[in-house]
Structure 1
């Protein structure tokens, strides 16, 4: 079986991270995320790119967004080092999608379709341990004791970006920037839509079936 090149798309809260990790394990391929790729290459020399800083680390430490050109270069490096991969969190806009088509061939683009009200419920219900960073959800994966981390006993908090107002703002930003990417791949004929509102196992089975059919 060939090693697939998979792109997973979906709004914040759709389950991309969870499903990408499972796909990577099931198909023995790399899980490539922009966050991980940035952290792994934060000291990459980008002095030749005529950017404000000479490394991605400098942007991160300054609290500034890493420019698209730098993100592109880092994603390119990550994909070149992977025989097969599931890409999660990139591309975020049409320019990045067009760049991606220049550096790799995708076997399938899977879009996790989740209703906005469900996304809001998922994101506003998330709780994070302020000691060890473990994630919980008040409905889907609650701790044994309310407000207390199972792993270390730390306090569980709601992050500022998980309040309903902020969540809806994040979803609007996604709609403005990334929804056109979904349409781009739909028009290209390589997009498949998967209902992301089932159980994690049901969603994973659907995604796996689509990947199997594409390779």
Structure 2
């Protein structure tokens, strides 16, 4: 399929970033994330103000503003992989109104596996390089291969924070998953294999949707 329109769903730690990169490289489409779209269009005027007004105040950008920003990003794209949107049912219903998706894929990963992935991440406090204690360890424990800096666990990678992130995802986004499942559009991808194994299954699903 040339330049498909793909929605990639999955909880934190499921590997959406890695697989989105694969889709972008293989199919020459745009990677559209809510955060990037908002940052790129901070001063876009909407009926409800600009994203900057909310972001500068440290507030959540409301759905109507997010919707307009995402709509503008999708209109500029010949094909896309959408990641991080929709986050709730009303956003999913709005997305249906503005575009026809070729594939809705969910990276399915067990909660315990997600916690292992999220809490195992380590970041170099000098150069920012990323490691994982299990999946991508440094040559020397606690020391960055790149610059010799100390590897630290960020506050948002602790078990307490990871559990909260998963709880928020389940509360907000499970209705989105149910919505696409009831519509018969959802394709579940086993997200627990290696990145290459997950990609092989995802790519097959994209080709089947052609």
In structure 2, the residue matched to 1:201 is 196
In structure 2, the residue matched to 1:169 is 164
In structure 1, the residue matched to 2:6 is 6
Determine if contact 1:32/1:87 at 8 Å carries over to the other structure.
yes
- Once structures 1 and 2 are overlaid, which stretch shifts more, 144-153 or 170-179? 144-153
RMSD of aligned alpha carbons: 1.4
Determine if contact 2:2/2:27 at 8 Å carries over to the other structure.
no
Residue 180 of structure 1 deviates from its aligned partner by 1.1
Answering whether residue 196 of structure 2 is matched by residue 192 of structure 1, we say no
- Matched residue SS, 2:206: helix
Answering whether residue 14 of structure 2 is matched by residue 19 of structure 1, we say no
Using the size of structure 1 for normalisation, the TM-score is 0.92
Q: Could you tell me how far apart the structure 2 residues matched to 1:170 and 1:73 are?
A: 25
Determine if contact 1:128/1:135 at 8 Å carries over to the other structure.
yes
Using the size of structure 2 for normalisation, the TM-score is 0.94
Q: Could you tell me how far apart the structure 1 residues matched to 2:152 and 2:51 are?
A: 30
Count of residue correspondences: 210
> In structure 2, which of residues 109, 116, 125 is the aligned counterpart of residue 121 of structure 1?
116
Determine if contact 2:142/2:151 at 8 Å carries over to the other structure.
yes
Structure 2 gap segments, 5+ residues each: none
Residue 63 of structure 1 deviates from its aligned partner by 1.9
Describe the superposition over 1:35-64 as per-residue Cα deviations: whole angstroms up to 9, x where unpaired. 111121122233xx23xxx43223223222
Describe the superposition over 1:13-43 as per-residue Cα deviations: whole angstroms up to 9, x where unpaired. 1111111111111111111111111121122
Flag the 1:83–1:55 CA change in 2: closer, same or farther, 3 A: same
In structure 2, the residue matched to 1:147 is 142
Residue 153 of structure 1 deviates from its aligned partner by 3.6
Structure 1 gap segments, 5+ residues each: none
- Once structures 1 and 2 are overlaid, which stretch shifts more, 80-89 or 54-63? 54-63
> In structure 2, which of residues 45, 69, 91 is the aligned counterpart of residue 96 of structure 1?
91
Residue 134 of structure 1 deviates from its aligned partner by 2.6
The 5-angstrom pairing of residues 16-55 of structure 1 reads 16-46=16-46, 49-50=47-48, 54-55=49-50
